[in-house]
Structure formats: structure tokens, C-alpha cells
Chains A and B, each alone.
Chain A
Amino acid sequence: MSPVEILGALRRLPLAPRSILLGAFIGFAAFCLLGRQAARTDEHKNFVRLTRYTSPETLYYPTVNELMAIVRARTKPGQILVIVGGNSVLRGVGQPADKIWTKRLQAELGAGYAVFNFAFNGSAITDGAAVVAEALRNEFPKQIYMANAAPTQGVNPEGSLVYRFLFWDAWSKGYLDKTDAKRNTKISDTHANRAYHFQDGFAELTIRDWFDRWFYFQDFWNDVSLTRFSTVWGAYMPGPLLFSQARNSFKDPEPDFLNPVAIPFAARYRPDTIAIELLNVRGCSWDAFEREKTPDGKWKIYEPTWQRFHEDVTASFPQALKKRTLVLMSHSSPYYVNKLTPDEIERDGLAYTLAVKEWEKAGYASMEYGKDFHATQDYGDRTHLTWKGGEKLAVLVAAKVRDMSKELGYLDPK
């Protein structure tokens, strides 16, 4: 029976049009209400981090409400909220869920803190986790947000192309600070280009968030996808027919860098990609300085890069949230850095030190890590840490978080 025949058969049924309309209204309204309920419910059982099954890699787009619900369900009164964002490095790629660095961070910090890892693969400092932290700024005023970045890496206040959906989800629902003049100007400048609105699906995103503000279909159907069945096929699903399984039924698939059976050393440090990886390492400081050293043997900063960087970091977060934001500068593995020339090694180190100072000058907390880590035991590849490296990072970050908590007055008895 073709769709036309089905419609024809339905039309011949002696149905009451007004009752159909009433039913459609009731059905739609009921699901909108269920969506609002789902937005307040945490369905991420045993949450450790966002996996590929709960991220855009498999066309699963978590909502800001969904991530806020995870925090609310697991944070006890009086705890200091620590939200980890950033990219795959802080998400713990190559670290199995039971050995992930944020678990160690939680253990280091103790019961006075509640640590959440909302990092996404390939995401930027202002992406998803930053949005969740900002949305919870009044509910959890004792909070620290952290993310990682490379020196002079550009920052867009609304996030990167892939993950800006969370920023606009929160923005359209009124969860973000819309009064910060510098950030507003930066966003307006980007949007002044009309073409921006019709590129990379931004128009669809705007429409989706406008409707979702009222109808909560994202929260409802995400809830269904997580707990009952999924209707969205994803290229990364483990099998062509497994897409319909509830996303909660999949285990965190992250392998262990230090398990040579799962990931042989030659797959971590591939001889055929050394040249490309060295380009990546050089790229961390390439545009930070002039091409050549000055006659007296010093690296001179390249002003346009730092000017742009300064403008970026100034406008990327609301002023009031800067001091509780920790920016981690992730060094590349010494395995590659040590293959650079002595001058390049010097330039690489300087770029990190200067970037930390620039972030601090703009009002953030910042620190670099990894320079003295073991090349292959602590680093799984050029940039990601093994769980052993993650343990070292957790110890360093915990000390910084405790210092920040003290400076921010979070430890003062009330």
C-alpha cells in the first residue's frame, strides 16, 4: 500500500476532524510537557564522561538541560563544583573509564569537591562544558571551570562549529549572561556578516533552538534515545543495526593507550606520521614569534598574533566568570618536541609561558603541564595522555584548584 493509498483510505474513514485536531493538540502538548520533565531528569546512569554514543560523533546532541541535570543529581550541598571541558585530551582519550584522570582528580580533591568531565573530542575552550558551568553560575556559585588549549589558539565565545549547538541552546533558553558587553560585541561582530547565518547549518540551528525553547523536543527524544531506543543512525555505531539500541546500553569504548594489544606502540607513535606530527608541534609556536631570531639571538613576538589572541581571550567569557576559569596549556609529547632544533624547542617553551601570562593578564587562572612528563609512558601520542600521565595531571590540577578555591573565598566558612 503506497502512502497515497493510505491517506486515501484514512480520508474515507468516517473520522471527526475536530476530534483529530483536538487529539493532535493534546498529543503534541503532552510530549512538550514530557520534554520539560525530561529536561529536569538525569538519565545518564553511572556517568563518567560523554562517550562517542552520547556526542555528535553518533549524531547524539546532548542538551544543556541534560548536562545540568547530571550535575544537579550528583552534587551535594556545600561541594565546590569543578567542571572539566576542553578537547579529547581532557576527555581522556586513551584512558579507560575506570582509570580516567578526572576520577583521580576527584580522589585528590576529596569530598568537598564534585568533579564533572564534560569535555568533547575536538572541542574548544568555550564549548559545551563552559556553557554548562555558566548556566549553573547562580545555582552553584562555588564553581571552577577548566579547559585546555594550545598557545595563541583562537577562541570564539559561542564555541566551535561542531559544538556551538550547546551555546545557542543555553542562550535561547535564557541561561547565559546576556549583559557582558565585550562578549556581546564579539558575537555581534561575527554575526554582522550575513553569510554566517546561512553557512554550516546555523540557520537550522537557530530554527531548532527557537522551536525547542517552547516544545522541548530535544530533551524528550534524547531521553528516549538514552533509555529506550534510538532512531538516529550514526557512522560510529558498532554495527549497522545496533543504532536503535538505547544509548545507555553501550559501554564506554575508550581503549587503554598502555595496553599494547589494544593499541600497539607503533599505532601511537607512527613512524610514517612523524613529519606531520612535527608540523603540528611547530604549529603551536609558529605564529607566536617572528620567523627568525633577532641578531642578538632572541625570539621576538609576532604582534598581530598576540593582538588577536588578546582580543579573543578578553571577550571569550563574561568578565565575572574569568577568575574562576582555569586554562590548561597542554604541551606536546617530549617524544616529538625533542626532535625539534634547539631554537625551535626554545620557541615552543616560550610560546606556552607567554600564553599562560596572557590568559592571567586577562583575568583567568592558567598553567602549563606536560613539559616534564615521560614521552611515551605519560603521553599516549603527540598530545593525549595515558592514564599514568593523567594521574600526574590530576595531582598538578588538584593543587591549582585548591589554590583557586582559597583565593576565590570558596573555603571560607559561612
Chain B
Amino acid sequence: MKTNEPTFKSPVVRHALSLLVGLAVGVFFHYLLFRLTLPVQPFIYVAF
């Protein structure tokens, strides 16, 4: 059955693109760990 879903003719392109998307997700998750665990309140210091 034919559908309107886009397809990739080459499986290599399909897997390469999927890998790239996965890489971005992995990097984003690494950044997310850093950012979400960072305290949100800056330490305010006034000397003079």
C-alpha cells in the first residue's frame, strides 16, 4: 500500500541520518544534566 510518508531510497542515508539525530539527542541530554542540576539563584555579594 502506498502512503504519503517520506522515504529514503538508500538505507545508508536512513541510518546515517538516524545516527546524527541520535548524536544530537545524546549531546543534548549531557547538556541537560549540567543545566538542570545547576543552582538557579546566583550568590549575590556586595563588598562596597
Q: Does A93 contact B (CB under 8 A)?
A: yes
Kindly report which residue of chain B lies nearest to residue A204, judged by CB atoms: B37
Min CB gap B32→A, angstroms: 9
* Interface secondary structure of A, over-half rule: helix
Chain A, interface residues (CB within 8 Å), range: 35 or more
Could you show 28 A-B contacts with beta carbons less than 8 Å apart? A14-B5, A14-B8, A15-B21, A19-B22, A20-B18, A23-B19, A23-B22, A24-B22, A25-B26, A26-B22, A26-B26, A28-B29, A31-B26, A52-B45, A57-B42, A57-B43, A57-B45, A59-B39, A61-B38, A94-B48, A122-B45, A204-B37, A217-B31, A217-B33, A232-B38, A268-B48, A381-B48, A384-B48
One of A67-75, A178-186, A207-215 at the interface: A207-215
Interfacial residues, chain B to chain A (CB-CB below 8 A): 5-8, 14-15, 17-27, 29-31, 33-35, 37-40, 42-45, 47-48
A-B contact count (CB 8 A): 139
**Chain B residues closer than 8 Å to A21, beta-carbon distance:** 22
Q: Mark A11-54, 1 if CB is under 8 A from B, else 0.
A: 01111111111111111111110010000000000000000100
A19 and B18 within 8 A (CB): yes
Please report the C-alpha to C-alpha distance between residue A25 and residue B38 in the assembled complex, in whole angstroms: 23
Kindly report which residue of chain B lies nearest to residue A236, judged by CB atoms: B42
Interfacial residues, chain A to chain B (CB-CB below 8 A): 10, 12-32, 35, 52, 55-59, 61, 88, 93-94, 121-122, 162, 165, 201, 204, 207-208, 211-212, 215, 217-218, 220-221, 231-232, 234-236, 263, 267-268, 380-381, 384
* B25 interface neighbour in A20, A165, A381, Cβ under 8 Å: A20
A23 and B18 within 8 A (CB): yes
Please report the C-alpha to C-alpha distance between residue A93 and residue B48 in the assembled complex, in whole angstroms: 9
B30 and A61 within 8 A (CB): no
B31 and A56 within 8 A (CB): no
A218 and B34 within 8 A (CB): yes
Please report the C-alpha to C-alpha distance between residue A15 and residue B13 in the assembled complex, in whole angstroms: 9
